[in-house]
Amino acid sequence: MTEVGTVTTPTTSELQTMPMAKALNAGLAAAMAADERVLLMGEDIGTLGGVFRVTEGLKNTYGEHRVLDTPLAESGIVGTAIGLAMRGYRPVCEIQFDGFIFPGFDQITTQLAKLTNRHEGAQAFPIVIRVPYGGHIGAVEHHQESPEAYFAHTAGLRSVSPSTPHDAYWMIQEAIAANDPVMFFEPKSRYWQKGAVDLAAPAVPLHSSRVVRTGSDVTVLAHGAMVSVLLQAAELAASEGISLEVVDLRSIAPIDYAPILESVRKTGRLIVAQEAPGNVSVGSEIAATVAERAFYSLEAPVLRVSGFDVPFPPAKLEGVFLPDADRILEAVDRALAY
């Protein structure tokens, strides 16, 4: 047996193919089965199973005392979770859509993020806040946003984002097992993208980035839904004789820079992609840090490909706003031109 935090996993293989939403459901179920202190809270997550059906069936299995339908009050959801954590529970809150997290922003950033420090570590706050985020679903305003930079900037919070069903299954369990508050950003456009999930594979550490496709000419890096776009771009680039190394960030805060820097020192070039606007963003931080730590390895400036610095547009314009493989390849051409 292998111990990963408090997540215990056997070393044999048990592969299943499932969409990310189902993988998250299975991961939540595994965490609830392993620890009766784990409970779920959110708007419409019980009887309905959530807007995206991520919690479907869990109320029937674990009862309404552990899968709680809450009022439409994000501040109340987070505030209640803080009180439950202080009483020894491990709450998992769902924010129904990314753009509606801001009514709970004060509770998250001025209370939850600071409480461990305020108690000098004597009190744990093992709270996970699940946030479906990002575009590509043709939704209206406040239903397609990428607010991860706000929380990555806030000391006292961890922030992660899976890009595959396998990572979703294991990362949600690791997040629940952590004794710190974790912002868990779920790329909603990938909820129904299927992938292999090894239910028995030892979990990769929660806060680790990793190379998901090796290459030699340019390093391209992203998190969440953008990783699939990078892999698509890498296939297209390969047909033109250009080798892209793709890095999945996985953890937004803290960032695991070791694989990133190793890759950049090999390729000499880095492109950071994200759905969020580029100004004062996660991509900005990575670009600055790589420039500091690997300056003499760079053969071109670090380039960023992002959403534009405007509010998320109506659905008919989201294809213009969100980076696609063509915009990634245009940045690759610029990087190689130096």
Residue type present at position 244: L
Query: Is the sign of the CA dihedral 20, 22, 25, 27 positive or negative?
Result: negative
Per DSSP, which regions of the chain are E strands?
A: 2-4, 7-9, 15-19, 38-42, 67-69, 90-94, 128-133, 158-160, 182-187, 194-198, 210-213, 218-222, 244-248, 251-253, 270-277, 303-307
Of 143, 166, 207, 223, which one is the catalytic site residue? 143
CA 294 – CA 139 distance, rounded (Å): 40
Other beta carbons within 10 Å of 296: 6
Other beta carbons within 10 Å of 311: 10
- Specify the pairing of strand 210-213 against strand 182-187: unpaired
Residue length of the chain: 338
Do the beta carbons of residue 99 and residue 142 sit within 8 Å? yes
Note if 153 is an active site residue: no
Partners of 41 in beta bridges: 68, 93
CA 319 – CA 189 distance, rounded (Å): 13
CA 209 – CA 197 distance, rounded (Å): 18
Partners of 213 in beta bridges: 246
Q: How many CA atoms lie within 13 A of 67 on its CB side?
A: 24
Where in the sequence numbering do the catalytic residues fall?
A: 143
